[in-house]
Structure 1
């Protein structure tokens, strides 16, 4: 078992603040697992720091004149410090078992 701490910079966007934050949180496990060798089985967020947060507003109008409506889009960039626990499969000794089937057993069992 191997533990390491990493700091990840992730960005998420969405139509609401909650969805933008959720987009960042959904990226944590895959980003942390990609940087560490072995098979990752635990990713613990330790600290969150907001680097930047932006609200983008845009006014749309039907036919350029009528029915104005305001569209809002949020973007958040965060530093997430995580502790990653992984298992190095190269260090695990696998026992080799070989099974030999006759031709009739192979046909009957379809292995």
Structure 2
């Protein structure tokens, strides 16, 4: 009896970074956080398709003390629509057996039959 379930989901994530690679890595790292919010036991998250919804390059000139040492700064923002295949464990299908035990943290006193 298999307790695994495989589904496909579409997740929209966004990321920012100082380079294109950092922006994409930030967005792709957000996929797991969004899927874990649904409180499942996930075995595998496998991206199937990635679509770029928005890709923005922000350029600005930065100066020291408003006049000195001008330099160009660039920030990147991306928004992605990622189709992922999610393999999870269905906890409702897992048969648990129950064992009743005495209190494992109790202290046995020699003159008293009950544990404290």
Tell me if TM exceeds 0.5. yes
Moved over 4 A (4+): none
Aligned residue for 1:49, secondary structure, equals strand
Aligned to 2:7: 4
Aligned to 2:16: 13
Aligned to 2:29: 26
The CA deviation at 1:43 is 0.7
Which of the residues 66, 71, 82 maps onto 1:80?
Answer: 82
Flag the structure with higher helix content.
Answer: 1
Which of the residues 92, 95, 107 maps onto 1:93?
Answer: 95
| Deviation by residue 1:29-56 (Cα, 9 ceiling, x = unmatched) | 2222334x63111111001111111110
Aligned residue for 1:13, secondary structure, equals strand
Structure 2: any 5+ residue segments left out of the alignment?
110-116
Larger Rg: 2
Structure 1: any 5+ residue segments left out of the alignment?
106-111
TM score, norm. by length of structure 2: 0.80
TM score, norm. by length of structure 1: 0.83
Aligned residue for 2:99, secondary structure, equals coil
Aligned residue for 2:97, secondary structure, equals coil
CA RMSD of aligned residues (A): 1.8
